[in-house]
Amino acid sequence: MKTAKDVRVGNSYAKIVHAGPSLLRKLPRQITSQRRKDIAVAVANASIEADSNRLSFLVGLGKTYRNAKDYPAAVQVFRKYLKVLSSKVDYNTDVRGYWYEWSVAEGSSGSEVQHSTANVWLAGLSLADNPTIAPFNS
């Protein structure tokens, strides 16, 4: 089994390029929550800019927004990239994470019907035996 310490993504270690979601917790509390969010989102976006072919980096950006409790922004990330999912190099290995994070973001966005139904549908996809086939439109 490989851990983040063993896996290299291009020229960067996985822990570095996936730092966005964890920065919200790890940055000093003396920094305002808004500033911590801005830094974490900038790091997550930098990962996408460095390698736009990775689905896992998109998941990291959405998770960063979700961890910052900016659920509408998280949902927007997942909806924005829906049409290009299958073109990502790590699609087969990371699409479950995409569906799961999107599901949690939708469920956290409110109790409106569109969020509740998207939450259930996406959670089902993340648990499906074949999560690569998903007739879902944003």
In this structure, are residues 88 and 53 in contact, taking their beta carbons and an 8 Å threshold?
Answer: yes
pLDDT recorded at residue 3: 46
Helix H or strand E segment including 15: helix 14-17
List domains and CATH numbers for the chain.
11-127 (1.25.40)
> CA separation (Å) from 23 to 29, 34, 90, 97, 119?
11, 12, 23, 19, 26
Mapping DSSP to helix (H, G, I), strand (E, B) and coil, where does residue 45 land? helix
In this structure, are residues 81 and 44 in contact, taking their beta carbons and an 8 Å threshold?
Answer: no
Mention every residue, 6+ apart, whose C-beta is less than 8 A from residue 7: 13, 14
Where would I find the H helices in 32-129? 33-50, 55-67, 71-80, 91-108, 113-127
pLDDT recorded at residue 10: 53
Partners of 13 in the β-ladder:
8
In this structure, are residues 53 and 91 in contact, taking their beta carbons and an 8 Å threshold?
Answer: no
- Provide the token pair at 84: 């290009």
pLDDT recorded at residue 137: 55
- Provide the token pair at 72: 């509408």
pLDDT along the chain (138 residues), means of 10: 48 61 89 94 92 93 96 96 92 91 94 90 86 54
